């Protein structure tokens, strides 16, 4: 059960619906072990230990745009799936790597895309492009309704590694706020009420391979899959000789007999449910992993989006602040030269100046608190703005502080 209150407000550009929800306590599941195979790798096997509850107890504001999850077309609605109607999934994006389709994703507001962490992990953001409003996989610029954006910022969940496939979720910040059309619209994120609803079926869309080892789909595909109880899914895998335990932060979906599934190339694509009354669509899962494609009793594994709502909201808020506000400099960086991911040491400033909306200062020491964000600007106009973040545990020695560079993308 949960208490819910909805507020409506209008900004200069968008109408928003705020759902304020207070969740009641939940029980913590037992630790589990999971063996996963990456959808974009043929031989990755991993073991994952579940450490905490998938849905923490928290109070939060779910900021979904009022027009999220709505299709502008009048049509009813990936293996052995069917061709999706153009415009029926206007939130679907193609993540291009080196100008070729790499993964899927979903637009969750005018500035942000949701995808899988293994799609972007340790790949420079400069190599990615995001294609919106597209119905075809090929990047030949023949679709007048589509648009391609460069200079995106990819942010993988900090808990993800390829050795575990844990926390397989990522956000991509677009360089500009996109204009909505019949073919470009956001999908809704789940709220805490949606997260606890029992669903029997979901739709997965993507441009992945039409069969294991086969060719990728040229036209966007969609397939309806039954959502499998995690314990039942575990038993199916064990019957097939796979000692697999699904974590609460994951969803299992597929048919006992196989035949329909996500496959390579579908990674990062959304798993969607649509409310029969409001006709709104919500992304509840992200294509993450599996063993083979569409095999009997080996359903696909999806990242459960509702388990990561706090991280999604915190990350979007944090990076929107970084790029929308330019703090004053606490010291002159003219003599500092850094590269991406470098650690630099600089003299502690006598007085720190920072906009209060970016960070809070310790009034006694005038030193930045944990998680404050700072900006270093090169003295040359052609150089990029570089953002750095204080270490989680700051140590002051000989009047010096250590700083870590987190991105060198230009501020928008």
- Residues marked active site are found at 118, 168, 267
CA distance 358 to 364: 19
111 vs 87, 171, 175, 317, CA distance in Å?
19, 10, 8, 11
236 vs 148, 178, 290, 391, CA distance in Å?
41, 43, 13, 45
For the chain, give me the number of helices (H) and strands (E)?
A: 4, 23
The alpha-helical segments, DSSP class H, found in 212-362 are 230-239, 309-324
389: nearest Cα among 356, 355, 359: 359
DSSP state of 306: G
Q: How far apart are the first and last CA of the chain?
A: 42
Q: What is the largest CA-CA distance in the chain?
A: 69
User: 230: Cβ–Cβ under 8 A, 6 or more apart, which residues?
Assistant: 246, 248, 250, 252
> Do 168 and 157 contact (CB within 8 A), yes or no?
yes
39 vs 168, 172, 299, 324, CA distance in Å?
12, 20, 12, 36
User: 159: Cβ–Cβ under 8 A, 6 or more apart, which residues?
Assistant: 166, 167
Q: Which residues on neighbouring strands pair with residue 361, listed in sequence order?
A: 368
Residue 240: how many CB atoms within 10 A of its CB? 13
Q: Which residues on neighbouring strands pair with residue 179, listed in sequence order?
A: none
> Do 385 and 400 contact (CB within 8 A), yes or no?
no
């Amino acid at each position: 059960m949960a208490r819910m209150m909805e507020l409506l407000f209008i900004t200069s550009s968008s109408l928003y619906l705020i759902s304020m929800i207070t969740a009641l306590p939940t029980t913590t599941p037992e630790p589990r072990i999971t063996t996963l195979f990456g959808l974009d790798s043929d031989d990755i096997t991993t073991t994952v230990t579940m450490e905490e509850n998938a849905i923490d107890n928290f109070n939060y504001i779910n900021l979904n745009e009022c027009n999220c999850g709505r299709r502008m077309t009048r049509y009813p609605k990936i293996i052995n799936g069917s061709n999706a109607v153009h415009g029926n999934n206007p939130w679907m994006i193609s993540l291009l790597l080196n100008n070729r389709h790499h993964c899927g994703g979903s637009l969750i507001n005018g500035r942000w895309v949701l995808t899988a962490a293994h799609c972007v992990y340790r790949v420079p953001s400069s190599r990615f492009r995001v294609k919106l409003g597209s119905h075809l996989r090929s990047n030949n610029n023949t679709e007048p309704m589509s648009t391609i954006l460069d200079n995106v910022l990819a942010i993988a969940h900090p808990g993800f590694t390829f050795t575990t496939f844990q926390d397989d979720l990522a956000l991509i910040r677009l360089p500009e706020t996109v204009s909505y059309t019949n073919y470009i619209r956001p999908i809704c994120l789940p709220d805490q009420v949606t997260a606890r609803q029992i669903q029997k079926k979901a739709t997965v869309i993507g441009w992945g391979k039409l069969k294991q080892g086969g060719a990728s789909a040229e036209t966007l595909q969609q397939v309806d899959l039954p959502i499998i109880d995690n314990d039942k899914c575990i038993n199916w895998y064990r019957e097939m000789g796979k000692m697999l335990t699904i974590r609460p932060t994951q969803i299992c979906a597929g048919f006992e007999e196989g035949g329909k599934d996500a496959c390579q190339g579908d990674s990062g694509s959304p798993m969607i449910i649509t409310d029969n009354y409001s006709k709104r669509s919500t992304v509840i899962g992200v294509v993450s992993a599996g063993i083979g494609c569409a095999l009997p009793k080996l359903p696909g594994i999806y990242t459960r989006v509702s388990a990561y709502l706090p991280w999604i909201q915190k990350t979007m808020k944090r990076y929107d602040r970084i790029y929308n506000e330019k703090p004053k400099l606490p010291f002159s960086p003219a003599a500092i030269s850094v590269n991406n991911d470098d650690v630099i040491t600089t003299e502690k400033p006598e007085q720190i100046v920072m906009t209060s909306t970016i960070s809070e200062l310790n009034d006694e020491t005038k030193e930045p608190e944990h998680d404050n964000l700072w900006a270093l600007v090169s003295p040359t106009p052609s150089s990029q703005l570089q953002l750095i973040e204080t270490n989680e545990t700051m140590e002051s020695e000989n009047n010096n502080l250590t700083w870590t560079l987190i991105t060198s993308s230009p501020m928008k």
